[in-house]
Amino acid sequence: MTILVTGGAGFIGSNFVLDWFKTSDEPVVNLDALTYAGNLANLASLAKDPRHVFVQGDICDRALIDQLLATHQPRALVHFAAESHVDRSIHGPGAFMRTNIEGTFTLLEAARAYWSTLAGEAKAAFRFHHVSTDEVYGSLKPSDPPFAESNPYEPNSPYSASKAASDHLVRAWHHTYGLPVVTTNCSNNYGPFHFPEKLIPLMIVNALAGKPLPVYGDGQQIRDWLYVTDHCAGIRAVLAGGRLGETYNIGGWNEKANIDIVKTVCALLDELRPDPAGPYSRLITYVTDRPGHDRRYAIDARKIERELGWRPAETFDTGIRKTVEWYLANAEWVSQVQSGAYREWVAKQYD
């Protein structure tokens, strides 16, 4: 028994692979293109583990996908691979259309062809698990209830539009061809191995370097924060017991304004790595808001709890402390991912 994971060297994908081997000996074939956000250092602990087979490749490469499916005969395909940064999608939407839409289409067609060759128990057991985002639902007003699985799609950025399109493809391949799929839409993840262009790791890295902590607009954008290993546990639960063709929202029940996140990170750093120059909050700098910035996301995760018994194990207080402590303990990892291209990107985005 084997599973095929796409994007398994990225932030969520690598955490999923590492977490998988804590609870299972089932091998993982890990396909990742190793773009700027894919990092084999995340998987260094598996370097000599025969259960982990890493393949560098593109999910748009149909011949490669066909070969991997035929060779390894996986019982499931767990699809993380995606361009995922809203800011990057605004500056360069083409890569998001290719990876998130064309790539998902390629995987679906390859999976459909492979699944059609299976018989009996193997065919009945196969799953295509599509990992998506709450951003496909658009933005909430302060008084709106959290996103439920039945919410209409109202994507507002090139990133969320491309993910919405991929969700629709997955649904269509189930209803048209009978491909056994499940989809999960998660809220904002945080935790170890998060590339330092996203809010929480960027604040940690900049604060430790004495650099400005850029906060968009008034900082009152609200997100629902989910610790990454809780997300991994939710995916395992849906993969194991989710109903075919169904969508499950995975959220952390932690709505926080961006400015409050930044202040929390500053307070933890004041405690754990005090700066002689003064509180880290002195570095908070408000910058021009990005175009089309959604005001609020929140996930109603009652369906996955009701049907599959999943609920996050971490509170935001426990999860954010673990996250800050991890970055303090892994300065070498941070320095390795801060390439010249990364520094150039941050300067362009927040100048």
Superfamily of domain 3-194+225-254+292-314 in the CATH hierarchy:
NAD(P)-binding Rossmann-like Domain (3.40.50.720)
Residues pairing with 5 in the sheet: 30, 78
Would you say residue 31 has pLDDT above 90? yes
Would you say residue 36 has pLDDT above 90? no
Would you say residue 214 has pLDDT above 80? yes
- Using CA atoms, how far residue 100 sits from 63, 132, 272, in Å, is 18, 10, 39
Write the pLDDT tens digit of every residue in 272-309. 999 999 999 999 999 999 888 889 999 999 999 999 99
Q: Counting every residue, how long is the chain?
A: 351
- Summarize the confidence of residues 175-200 as an average pLDDT: 96
How high is the pLDDT of residue 164?
Answer: 98
Alpha-carbon torsion angle 330, 207, 83, 50, nearest 10: 0
Please measure the distance between the N-terminal and C-terminal CA atoms of the chain and give it in whole angstroms.
50
DSSP string of 249-303?
A: EE--S-EEEHHHHHHHHHHHHHHHS--TT--GGGGEEEEPPPTT---B--B--HH
Domain ranges of the chain: 3-194+225-254+292-314
How high is the pLDDT of residue 348?
Answer: 72
How high is the pLDDT of residue 292?
Answer: 82
- Summarize the confidence of residues 10-21 as an average pLDDT: 98
Place of tokens 């930044």: 262
- Summarize the confidence of residues 209-220 as an average pLDDT: 96
- Summarize the confidence of residues 326-338 as an average pLDDT: 92
Please state, as a whole number, how many other Cβ atoms lie within 10 Å of the Cβ of residue 143: 6
How high is the pLDDT of residue 346?
Answer: 56
Q: What is the average pLDDT value for the chain, to the nearest integer?
A: 95
Percent with pLDDT over 70 in the chain: 97
Would you say residue 65 has pLDDT above 60? yes
How high is the pLDDT of residue 52?
Answer: 97
Phi–psi pair at 15, nearest 5 degrees: -65, -40
- Catalytic amino acids? 134-135, 159
170, 247 in Cβ contact below 8 A?
no
How high is the pLDDT of residue 174?
Answer: 98
108, 173 in Cβ contact below 8 A?
yes
How high is the pLDDT of residue 21?
Answer: 98
Would you say residue 345 has pLDDT above 70? no
- Summarize the confidence of residues 61-67 as an average pLDDT: 98
pLDDT band at 337 (very low <50, low <70, confident <90, very high): confident
